[in-house]
């Protein structure tokens, strides 16, 4: 069964999706499969991580066709960590969606597409073949196109249109890049590409080629200057969908960037990685300044995704073991925290019927426990100790200082301060200030708030606890990230695992 | 549409097209064909019926809900891929077995046929789902 372990995170969502289709008419069964399937996915990814941690990189040659001809599924520590995160988010969102997504959307196959989306995400993380990665990207995008447009309100269609257009451009660039790469090297297996490109006669051509991938993945990851599709589409679908998008989709882009720029395109590190570093700095700044101008809960959060992406790619741009460790740690922290913030925004929107900060207020008085649950991820995002975000930023800052990249470190710290300001704004507007529609001294009416339901609060609580655990037990997580970064910096083990023929 | 020619033609062509789809499905391993085009031709036969009569009668003729077809197809494909894993080989490895038909030669059967049947059902289901939804709206 060990040979099946790396493909299980792909097989389980597909089976869950297929079984959900058989019960198209019964929402009840689909919900249970949604929770059960994603729960199994989480368990399988945890087992995968523990196995990879214990025995080293796992690989499966699909259909018994040996690499580099066949498709290889590889799970190194970085992939396995990402797969576990996908499992956690999938499970929490599936539980949240039970009441968090309206019945009409559920009856149009919401859960089926959630499974397909998770399958695409896990496939992108685990594949060892660049063309196969393109296919998983398409699987994931296809499902996300449906999820973003499902329900069909005019605002959603506008957001979906921008989202689809930009992502199709990115896919076309990605595919063109793969085509030329295949023309130059004659292989698509990433490990094989790494070996063959290391001895290429024309490193200039390869660096040019790498720009295709930088732009394509940069669009997916919402990096500067190609991020504008994200804030204009993420706030339109139901909060549960925004949450899973915010947690996973852009991070697939970041994962792909880190994978190809540590394994394949390392010919001219001074040029490519410095370019990534500059783009990261600008991404942080643009995102956080954009957020300052917004007054809608989820739009503020969307702009913060952009700004946070800058931190993750900053670690890649610095290109040292410590900086990559910090990047991996940052991604882990960010996926949990960001999804959680979107889930909280969904609860607020369901309670008050709006996400407009000017109309919100007084939530601290009526729902103090929810306020605490908001405060944990919000302060973690801003980077206050002892929460997870603090250690993630600390790692990046130390890595930057060691390499004497003072400019980017200063930017990171400045943006961090602005993030704190932005989170304080959300806190002050939505929770602290009195409700705008209630006069001074009058009792707050509680009757018009919809009651909170347990299945929507539980995922938020679990994610908040994970954030606290990552913060308090930072050393354990940092060591794991460090080992993952070690495998990224020195790809020999990865290449060996792929090329090892095992039936 | 109420045309006698179309009615008669669809009644005659429907079984022929389905038979052709099954032929393509099974011959696809060695010659052009396979689950995908078999699914399209199978769907075409039901589409013809839809145009000659109407959607409810085509649904009745199909018996199964297109969603069920898609789900079953995916399970078939996954099942064929998982069989090899349970036999200790790599995921999706083709397994082959066979039997002798006395006087007619050897028949070899393998998991790729199951996979192709899955593809057939998915393509049939998806195409019909699109056609039915568009004709109903």
DSSP string, A225-251: TS-TTTTTTTTSS-HHHHHHIIIIIHH
Question: Token pair of A86, please?
Answer: 């996908």
B64 min Cα distance to partner chain A (Å): 11
> Residue B45 phi/psi, 5° resolution?
-65, -40
User: Among the listed ranges A323-327, A449-453, A461-465, which one has the minimum average pLDDT value?
Assistant: A449-453
CB-CB neighbours of A158 under 10 Å: 13
Contact between residue A70 and residue A188 where contact means Cβ atoms under 8 Å apart: no
Q: How far apart are CA A127 and CA A197, in angstroms?
A: 19
CB < 8 Å to A37, chain B: none
Residue A424: is its pLDDT beyond 80? yes
Closest Cβ–Cβ partner in B70, B78, B85 for A21: B70
The per-residue pLDDT for range B102-133, each reduced to its tens digit, is 777 788 888 888 999 999 999 999 999 999 99
CB < 8 Å to B70, chain A: 18, 21
Task: Report the pLDDT averaged over residues A327-341.
Answer: 95
Torsion of CA B27, B31, B37, B43, to 10 degrees: -30
ipTM of the predicted structure?
0.90
Query: Residue A435: pLDDT band by 50, 70, 90 thresholds?
Result: confident
pLDDT > 70: percent of chain A: 96
- Tell me, what's the pLDDT at A503? 41
With CB atoms and an 8 Å threshold, state whether B74 touches A14.
yes
Task: Report the pLDDT averaged over residues A362-368.
Answer: 83
With CB atoms and an 8 Å threshold, state whether A18 touches B74.
yes
With CB atoms and an 8 Å threshold, state whether A62 touches B90.
yes
Q: Which residues pair with A356 in a beta bridge?
A: A296
How distant, in Å, are the alpha carbons of A39, A72, A119, A237, A463 from that of A7? 16, 10, 10, 30, 26
Q: Give the residue with greater pLDDT, A269 vs B2.
A: A269
Contact between residue A247 and residue A278 where contact means Cβ atoms under 8 Å apart: no
Please choose, from the candidates A326, A298, A296, the residue with its C-alpha nearest in 3D space to the C-alpha of residue A312: A326
If you ran DSSP here, which 8-state letter would residue A295 be given? -
Q: Give the residue with greater pLDDT, A458 vs A435.
A: A458
Question: Token pair of A104, please?
Answer: 């009409």
Task: Report the pLDDT averaged over residues A466-482.
Answer: 93
CB < 8 Å to B89, chain A: 3, 64, 503
Task: Report the pLDDT averaged over residues A41-58.
Answer: 94
Helix (H/G/I), strand (E/B), else coil: A150: coil
Cis peptide before A376 (omega within 30 of 0): no
With CB atoms and an 8 Å threshold, state whether A21 touches B67.
yes
Q: Is the minimum CB–CB distance between B67 and chain A shorter than 8 Å?
A: yes
Contact between residue A167 and residue A220 where contact means Cβ atoms under 8 Å apart: yes
Q: How far apart are CA B93 and CA B83, in angstroms?
A: 8
Residue A396: is its pLDDT beyond 90? yes
Query: Residue A349: pLDDT band by 50, 70, 90 thresholds?
Result: confident
- Tell me, what's the pLDDT at A252? 95
With CB atoms and an 8 Å threshold, state whether B85 touches A4.
yes
CB-CB neighbours of A359 under 10 Å: 15
Residue A241: is its pLDDT beyond 50? yes
Task: Report the pLDDT averaged over residues A443-457.
Answer: 67
Q: How far apart are CA B37 and CA A293, in angstroms?
A: 53
Query: Residue A279: pLDDT band by 50, 70, 90 thresholds?
Result: very high
Question: Token pair of B102, please?
Answer: 């006395």
Number of inter-chain CB pairs under 8 A, A vs B? 62
Contact between residue A65 and residue A473 where contact means Cβ atoms under 8 Å apart: no
CB < 8 Å to A15, chain B: 74-75, 78
The per-residue pLDDT for range A108-127, each reduced to its tens digit, is 889 999 999 999 999 999 99
Query: Which residues, at least 6 apart from B55, have a Cβ–Cβ distance to it below 8 Å?
Result: B132, B135, B136
Task: Report the pLDDT averaged over residues B22-46.
Answer: 90
């Amino acid at each position: 069964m060990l040979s099946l372990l790396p493909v299980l995170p792909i097989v389980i969502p597909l089976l869950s999706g297929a079984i959900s289709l058989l019960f198209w008419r019964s929402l009840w069964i689909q919900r249970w499969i949604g929770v059960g399937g994603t729960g199994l996915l989480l368990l399988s990814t945890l087992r995968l991580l523990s196995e990879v941690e214990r025995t080293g990189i796992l690989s499966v040659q699909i259909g018994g066709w040996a690499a580099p001809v066949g498709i290889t599924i590889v799970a190194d520590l970085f992939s396995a960590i990402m797969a576990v995160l996908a499992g956690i988010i999938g499970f929490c969102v599936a539980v949240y969606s039970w009441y968090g997504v309206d019945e009409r959307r559920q009856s149009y196959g919401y859960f089926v597409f959630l499974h397909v989306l998770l399958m695409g995400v896990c496939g992108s993380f685990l594949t060892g073949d660049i063309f196969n990665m393109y296919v998983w990207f398409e699987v994931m995008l296809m499902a996300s196109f449906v999820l973003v447009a499902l329900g069909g309100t005019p605002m959603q269609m506008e957001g979906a249109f921008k989202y689809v257009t930009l992502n199709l451009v990115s896919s076309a660039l990605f595919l063109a890049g793969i085509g030329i790469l295949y023309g130059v090297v004659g292989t698509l297996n990433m490990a094989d590409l790494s070996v063959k490109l290391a001895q290429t006669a024309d490193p200039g051509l390869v660096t040019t080629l790498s720009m295709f991938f930088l732009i394509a993945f940069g669009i997916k990851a919402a990096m500067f200057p190609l991020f504008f599709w994200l804030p204009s589409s993420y706030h339109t679908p139901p909060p549960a969908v925004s949450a899973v998008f915010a947690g996973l989709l852009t991070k697939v882009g970041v994962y792909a960037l880190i994978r190809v720029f540590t394994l394949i395109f390392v010919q001219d590190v001074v040029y490519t990685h410095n370019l990534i570093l500059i783009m990261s700095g600008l991404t942080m700044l643009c995102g956080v300044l954009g957020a300052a101008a917004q007054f809608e809960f989820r739009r503020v959060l969307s702009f913060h995704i952009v700004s946070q992406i800058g931190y993750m790619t900053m670690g890649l741009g610095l290109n040292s073991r410590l900086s990559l460790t910090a990047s991996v740690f940052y991604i882990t922290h960010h996926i949990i925290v960001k999804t959680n913030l979107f889930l909280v925004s969904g609860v607020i929107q369901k309670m008050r019927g709006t996400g407009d900060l000017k109309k919100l207020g007084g939530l601290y008085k009526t729902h103090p426990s929810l306020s605490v649950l908001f405060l944990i991820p919000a302060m973690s995002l801003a980077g206050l100790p002892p929460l997870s975000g603090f250690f993630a930023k600390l790692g990046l800052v130390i890595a930057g200082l060691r390499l004497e990249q003072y400019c980017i470190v200063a930017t990171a710290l400045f943006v961090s301060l602005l993030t704190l300001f932005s989170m304080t704004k959300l806190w002050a507007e939505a929770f602290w200030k009195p409700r705008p529609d209630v006069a001074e001294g009058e009792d707050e009416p509680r009757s018009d708030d919809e009651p909170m339901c347990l299945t929507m609060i539980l995922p938020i609580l679990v994610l908040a606890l994970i954030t606290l655990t990552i913060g308090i037990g930072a050393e354990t997580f940092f060591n794991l990230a460090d080992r993952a970064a070690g495998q990224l910096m020195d790809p020999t083990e990865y290449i060996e695992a792929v090329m090892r023929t095992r039936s | 549409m109420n045309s006698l020619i179309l009615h008669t033609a669809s009644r005659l062509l429907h079984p022929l097209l389905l038979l052709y789809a099954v032929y393509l499905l099974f011959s696809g391993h060695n010659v052009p064909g396979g689950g995908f085009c078999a699914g399209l031709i199978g769907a075409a036969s039901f589409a013809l019926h839809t145009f000659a009569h109407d959607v409810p009668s085509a649904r009745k003729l199909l018996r199964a809900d297109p969603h069920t077809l898609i789900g079953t197809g995916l399970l078939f494909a996954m099942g064929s891929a998982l069989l090899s894993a349970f036999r200790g080989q790599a995921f999706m490895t083709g397994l082959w077995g066979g039997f002798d038909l006395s006087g007619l030669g050897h028949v070899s059967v393998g998991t790729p046929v199951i996979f192709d049947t899955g593809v057939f059902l998915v393509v049939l289901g998806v195409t019909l789902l699109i056609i039915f939804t568009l004709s109903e709206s």
